[in-house]
Chains A and B, each alone.
Chain A
Amino acid sequence: MDGGNHDILIEAVDVKGYYDVPKGYVRAVDGCTLKLRQEEIIGIAGESGCGKSTFGKILMGYDKPPLRMVSGTITVNGVNIYSVTWNERKRIWGSSIAMIPQYSMNSLNPTRKIRNLIVDAMREKFRTGISESEMVQRAEHRFKDLGLSSTALDMFPFEMSGGMKQRAVIAISTLLNPKVLIVDEPTSALDVSTQRLLLELLYYIVKRKIVGSMIIISHDIASLRQICDYMYIMYAGKIAESAPMERMIEHPLHPYAKLLLDAVVTPEPEIRKRKLEGIPGAPPQLIKPSIGCRFSDRCPHVMDRCKSEEPPYLALEPDRFVACWLYGEGMGTDARRHDQS
């Protein structure tokens, strides 16, 4: 990793988060480990149902029923987030860690002007000693910073385009300069040019230190590739592989990661020259996961061991982790006990 402080802002170790439903438990996050450093932009990629959105919520401490944090530890800015009460967590949401959930631009109250939404949000979530007028003033500056004119404050959400709304959401969520920002699917439902502007905006707010670090959750690997330093690829509730972005793109190790990257279509000349292979079959149900590796029924390199034993999430290099029997016992260091400081 180059430059920047190596302070660890989030450390999640072997986290399990399940949904309590009548039929049993949906094991949406089933033993995931993650580390986020200062000034880092991390991507969590995966297809629908892999558990990435749930992982984002769990990382924040947002385990609202039926979601439940079952085991593992998560430390956010030094605080063991599941050892404090919900109300204490509410206090740090917004200032220490903030989240922009999926479709948030559609959940802006259409009957309130943006200016009033800021006041609402402040009263609801932000509980600090800053006065209302000061907060709106800060919002004005922030809006300008993010490319929105201050007249946007007096608009209603339906008067704004998708891109403007998304910017407004980002501005409001980062008013208290949270150390960590988690964004879930920031670019869905926007057209291509707006998506690019938004990605640039997210990059900008980290570089200009408006937020400390960022986690972006997305199914769009090509978008993540543009601004993330490091990427996690999730499959069926587990992390299949994690690596620095360049290494992951150049040389993915886990068979799923390889197939997923191969299935990315881009307007580059190579795409015309060969036939792409998708991944036949479907991911397993998370309510009754099978024994052994979750990808074994679709994996082209499946071995006998894969069907009976789950591969551990191990480090192959100091910065690179894979959960796959093809790579044996890795460096022999279990990720859960690995220290990288």
Chain B
Amino acid sequence: MHEDMIRVEHLSKIFTTGFIGLGKRIVAVNDVSFNCKSGEVIGLIGESGSGKTTTARLILKLLAPTSGEIYFRGKSIWTMPNREYYRCVQGVFQDPYSSINPVYRVKHLFNNTSNLFREVPKNEASHRVKEVLELVHLKPEEVLEKHIDELSGGELQRILLANCLFVDPNVILTDEPTSMIDASMRVIVLNLIKELSEKHRKLIVFITHDISQAFYICDRMIVMYQGLIVEQGSAEDVVLNPQHPYTKRLISDVPKLKQKFKLSMED
């Protein structure tokens, strides 16, 4: 049964700058509505300024909306206590080097996350930590005692995915999880994300500016531009048969391997 895991209704977020809001007004998210079901990978695509990251932060309760509602399984997320909500919804962010506190070792990350599971005894929790690290093909004894400068971007990003799995949420929002990783490791991380949805039935919201990566792993795609949704549909429909001029331009401007740009200044 594919239920509506996350439902966003008429969500808006307006930022004001200046002293007591007398400065500029930025409409980051403009009356956005969409829904996502469990077990799918849904892509939220847009370039900088599109509002995709703000939308993600709103869903993660890191920001409060100006208007609109977000529902998790029918319940408004703002009525749910944080510790309950975060056992169901988690996030993985862009910069793996910034996502773990550089002052501490990697195990500190998992210690923090166990705050959500205070009722679980400590040795059970450490056992679970080792399990999830192995799930992302990492050796616990090789990473837990290290600091972030001793590990590569790919390893760190996998540790963050493992941290997500430790919580075992229903929904994972990943914000540009591969933009700071090399091409060869990127595919491995993308495959891992796809596996989370297929094998573990999680809803993955994949937020990116890179429509090609989204095309590889997403079932459905939502294209945003300047705070608005301009197009949504299945991945094939959106990429192979785009309707909105912005989407069309976006796809045609992406460099491809099989065909070259028509260079307008060709002699």
Contact = CB atoms under 8 A, between A and B. Distances in A.
Interface of A: 47-48, 191-193, 195-196, 199-200, 203-204, 207-208, 219-223, 225-227, 249, 259-261, 263-269, 271-272, 275-280, 282
A256 to B, nearest CB: 9
Contacts, number: 119
Contact of B188 (A199, A269, A280): A280
A168 to B, nearest CB: 19
A226 B186 CA distance: 22
Nearest to B182: A47
Nearest to A265: B212
B215 A267 contact: yes
A221 B258 CA distance: 12
Nearest to B191: A275
A225 B260 contact: yes
Contact of A266 (B189, B212, B264): B212
Contact of B263 (A227, A277, A279): A227
Interface stretch (B15-23, B108-116, B118-126, B235-243): B235-243
Given A47-B182, A203-B265, A260-B183, A267 B254 contact: yes
A265 B216 contact: yes
B255 A222 contact: yes
A155 B238 CA distance: 39
B261 A47 contact: no
In the complex, which range does the number of interface residues on chain B fall in?
A: 35 or more
B187 A265 contact: yes
A191 B265 contact: no
Given A191-B48, A225-B257, A264-B183, A271 B250 contact: no
A193 to B, nearest CB: 5
A278 B216 CA distance: 13
Nearest to A261: B257
A48 B181 CA distance: 9
Contacts of A191: 47-48, 209
B255 A223 contact: yes
Contact of B216 (A223, A249, A276): A276
B265 A192 contact: no
Interface in B60-93: none
B264 to A, nearest CB: 6
A37 B261 CA distance: 23
Give 6 closest A-B pairs by Cβ, nearest first. Answer: A278-B187, A279-B184, A278-B188, A222-B255, A47-B182, A265-B212
B267 interface: yes
Contact of A192 (B185, B186, B216, B250): B250
Nearest to A201: B265
20 contacts: A47-B183, A47-B184, A193-B253, A195-B255, A200-B265, A207-B266, A223-B255, A225-B255, A225-B257, A226-B263, A259-B184, A263-B186, A264-B257, A266-B212, A266-B257, A272-B235, A272-B236, A276-B187, A276-B216, A278-B187
A326 to B, nearest CB: 19
Contact of A267 (B182, B183, B239, B264): B239
A225 B255 CA distance: 8
B99 interface: no
B265 to A, nearest CB: 4
Given A200-B264, A260-B184, A268 B256 contact: yes
A178 B250 CA distance: 33
A149 to B, nearest CB: 19
A197 B140 CA distance: 46
B5 interface: no
Contact of B254 (A47, A48, A266, A277): A266
Contacts of A195: 253, 255
A11 to B, nearest CB: 27
B29 to A, nearest CB: 19
Contacts of A268: 256-258
Nearest to B260: A226
Contacts of B183: 47, 219, 221, 260, 263-264, 278
B154 interface: yes
A154 B92 CA distance: 43
A94 to B, nearest CB: 25
Contact of B251 (A227, A267, A278, A279): A267
B5 to A, nearest CB: 23
Contact of A222 (B184, B185, B235, B256): B256
